[in-house]
Structure 1
Amino acid sequence: MFRIDKDGMVRSALVEARRLTALERGDMPVVNGIVVHQTGGSTAQSTFNSYRNSTIGAHFLIEKDGKIYQTASLLKRANHVGLLKSRCLERHACAPAELKRLQSTTLRKRSTMEHGKVFPDRFPSNRDSIGVELVGEYNRNPDFGKIRGADEFVYVAVTGEQNAALRWLVGELRRTLKVAAEEVYRHPQVSYKTTTEAATATW
């Protein structure tokens, strides 16, 4: 079990603090979900390096050997989700008028429409979700351009050590922050991302 201190940092021997305040985008008074990602770099250090020159990042980073780093306060938002998918479209549950509006607009405008909704009518977003990155680079997909719908890149498999750490971390976050099991997602489930990102992650 862990505790969260007054600064939103986890206190546990299993989590090393590497807080980068440049990733924090304002207060996050409530957490409704957890989004699991994979990085584009092959090491934790490459991710730390990219975070220093970016406003995009997650709250946690899990190295291939299972080591967990906390990179942002749990009391602060982080830009990790990107354009938000429509929950009713993904669940095939839109009202006819909304379905028509969603189908006749761009992905960016769809995302804006979703951000105007109150949870749980939308997926958890940057403003109310914890981001967890798993170190795991991607490779070019040899089927890209040959098979219709094939992604340009394919992510490497998550390691067993990463999955063990992820199961522990997600369990502790869910228990402490009272996040429902069904509100934990892989990044492509809630945003327009490469479908293999975190596909082999388990929690």
Structure 2
Amino acid sequence: MLFIDKNGRVDAERVKVKIFPNIERGPMEKVNGIVVHQTYSPTAESTFNSYRDKGANGAHFLIDKDGTIYQTASLLKRTNHVGYLKSRCIATHVCSPTEFRLASSIRGTKKLSDHEYNKTWPQRYPSNKDAIGIELVGMAYAKDIPRKNEKPNLVYEDVTEAQNLSLRWLITELVRSFKVSTSEIYRHPHVSYKIVTEASTAKW
């Protein structure tokens, strides 16, 4: 288990505390899940630079390509790292008939996400309200040259072996510390509308 102080900071030899207050929001009273991301930036420092912007979004941890783990936000604070939520009941085929009709009738990812955020967990996926976010430094590159007026087909680079070793350790410790179910750990595209290859090579 991790030792976490009264300010939500981890005291562990493997974790470097580098808090960015601009990415912290209100209190996070309960942790129900963990979401694994890739940064869409080539280096840790480029991500840190974005975290210095007022109102920036970010996650609680960042793992560099060499496996260095940084804590970037308090574990007592919510951060905006998930984005728009997908419908859990539609994805898992466990909707009640009424909920299926309602969720299926909602048009637009923001409106559906707002509907999901009004639910309590586990009726919805872990969200900004109750999920720890872990970023892995990694860039996405165009797979091919797009045609005119088409968006490029982006593919994330592979997670390094050192990152996966650190990710496995960190998730094990977080699961023990917060009693998170291992079934509630997700890659970002599983719960939100993101590039499908994000964190696809992450292992824990």
Q: Per the shorter chain, which TM-score range? A: over 0.9
The CA deviation string for residues 42-101 of structure 1, in whole angstroms up to 9 with x for no partner, is: 110000001111421000000000000000000000000000011101101112222222
Task: Name the structure 1 match of 2:69.
Answer: 68
Q: Aligned pair in 2 of structure 1 residues 170, 79: CA closer, same or farther (>3 Å)? A: same
1:166 alignment partner, SS class:
helix
User: Identity rate of aligned residues, in percent?
Assistant: 54
Alignment of 1:119-158 (within 5 A): 119-142=121-144, 152-158=153-159
Deviation at 1:141, TM superposition (A): 2.3
In 2, the alpha carbon distance for the partners of 1:114 and 1:63 equals: 32
Aligned: 1:27 with 2:42 = no
Deviation at 1:2, TM superposition (A): 2.6
Q: Do the aligned partners of 1:35 and 1:131 also contact (CA within 8 Å) in 2?
A: yes
Moved beyond 6 Å, runs of 4+? none
Number of residues of Structure 1 aligned to a counterpart in Structure 2: 199
Task: Name the structure 2 match of 1:39.
Answer: 39
The CA deviation string for residues 137-192 of structure 1, in whole angstroms up to 9 with x for no partner, is: 010122866xxxx9721000000000000000000000001000000000000001
Task: Name the structure 2 match of 1:110.
Answer: 112
Task: Name the structure 2 match of 1:89.
Answer: 90
The CA deviation string for residues 97-120 of structure 1, in whole angstroms up to 9 with x for no partner, is: 222222222211111111111111
In 2, the alpha carbon distance for the partners of 1:36 and 1:164 equals: 14
Which residue identity does 1:127 align to in structure 2? K
Task: Name the structure 2 match of 1:180.
Answer: 181
Q: Do the aligned partners of 1:14 and 1:67 also contact (CA within 8 Å) in 2?
A: yes
User: What is the TM-score of this pair, normalised by structure 1?
Assistant: 0.94
Deviation at 1:196, TM superposition (A): 0.1
In 2, the alpha carbon distance for the partners of 1:151 and 1:130 equals: 30
In 2, the alpha carbon distance for the partners of 1:166 and 1:12 equals: 14
Aligned: 1:191 with 2:192 = yes
User: What is the TM-score of this pair, normalised by structure 2?
Assistant: 0.94
Q: Aligned pair in 2 of structure 1 residues 154, 93: CA closer, same or farther (>3 Å)? A: same
Unaligned runs of 5+ in 1: none
Mean Cα displacement is larger for which, 131-140 or 48-57?
48-57
1:4 alignment partner, SS class:
coil
